[in-house]
């Protein structure tokens, strides 16, 4: 919603709508770790998904407290070269953007902070993969930060999305005060995540196309 607002002429949007968007709280961002390494460096019965919680008292939304790990090549060998594994680890929307705001991505300060803030993921990966794993032997090492999220995913402040809590508020619908402008994505109902975002697109399609046209299309594709 924040980026869309910047694409619309200010005089075309009511002040109340602008204020609503600007006042919407944001979830924090992410740290990411992408690795490629020899399969022989991990235990043979390695599972695909792992969750490491450092301190249950801090909660799953505690800063640097939870790391999620996925090794998809465990199930799909074709995702990596023969004898290799790929891995993605991340902190789930708990990395404050304020730590990174204003940093030059080419600076020594940025590189130093990347190393510092990625350590929690390295330690989680070492715990999940076992003693045979060595970070020094990885063929691929890529660290993503909130600035990475902002740049490559075009996320305002690298955010995961609106921090709208169930039971306290609801995600806005797809219609806007601007005629003929409908919005879909995780700033609209039903919210954040791939299934929810896909559903928001379906809602817009249902809004624009009549039931009769839906039926014609379903007949055309044989459903």
Q: Is the pLDDT of residue 42 over 90?
A: no
Q: Is the pLDDT of residue 214 over 90?
A: no
Q: What letter does residue 164 receive in the DSSP assignment? A: P
Is beta strand 84-95 parallel, antiparallel or unpaired with respect to 140-144?
A: unpaired
Q: What percent of the chain has pLDDT over 90?
A: 74
User: Which phi and psi (to 5°) does residue 182 adopt?
Assistant: -115, 145
Q: Is the pLDDT of residue 6 over 90?
A: no
Q: Which residue has the higher pLDDT, 73 or 42?
A: 73
Q: What is the pLDDT of residues 79-108, one digit of tens each?
A: 999 999 999 999 999 999 999 999 999 999
Predicted pLDDT of residue 210:
85
Given pLDDT bands bounded at 50, 70 and 90, which one contains residue 41?
confident
Mean pLDDT rounded to a whole number for the chain: 93
For 97-140, the DSSP string reads GGGTTT--TTSHHHHHHHHHHHHHHHHHHHHHH-TT--GGG-SE
The pTM for the full model equals 0.85
Q: Which residue has the higher pLDDT, 6 or 127?
A: 127
Q: Is the pLDDT of residue 195 over 90?
A: yes
Q: Is the pLDDT of residue 56 over 90?
A: yes
Q: Is the pLDDT of residue 144 over 90?
A: yes
Q: How far apart are the first and last CA of the chain?
A: 34
Predicted pLDDT of residue 28:
95
Predicted pLDDT of residue 190:
93
Tokens encoding 82: 């023969």
Q: What letter does residue 25 receive in the DSSP assignment? A: -
Contact assessment for residue 143 and residue 31, using Cβ atoms and an 8 Å cutoff: yes
């Amino acid at each position: 919603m924040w980026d869309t607002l910047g694409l619309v002429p200010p005089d075309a949007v009511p002040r109340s709508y602008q204020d609503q968007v600007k006042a919407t709280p944001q979830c924090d961002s992410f740290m990411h770790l992408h690795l490629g390494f020899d399969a022989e460096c991990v235990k043979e019965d390695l599972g695909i998904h792992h969750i490491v919680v450092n301190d249950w008292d801090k909660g799953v939304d505690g800063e640097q407290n939870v790391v999620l790990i996925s090794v998809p090549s465990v199930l799909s060998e074709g995702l990596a070269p023969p004898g290799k594994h790929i891995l993605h680890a991340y902190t789930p929307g708990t990395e404050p953007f304020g730590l990174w705001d204003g940093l030059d991505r080419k600076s020594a300060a940025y590189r130093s902070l990347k190393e510092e803030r990625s350590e929690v993921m390295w330690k989680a990966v070492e715990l999940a993969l076992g003693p045979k794993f060595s970070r020094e032997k990885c063929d691929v090492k890529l660290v993503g930060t909130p600035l990475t999220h902002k740049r490559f995913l075009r996320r305002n402040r690298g955010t995961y999305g609106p921090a709208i809590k169930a039971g306290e508020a609801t995600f806005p619908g797809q219609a806007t005060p601007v005629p003929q402008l409908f919005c879909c994505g995780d700033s609209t109902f039903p919210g954040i995540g791939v299934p929810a975002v896909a559903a928001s697109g379906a809602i817009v399609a249902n809004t624009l196309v009549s039931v009769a046209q839906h039926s014609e299309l379903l007949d055309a594709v044989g459903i």
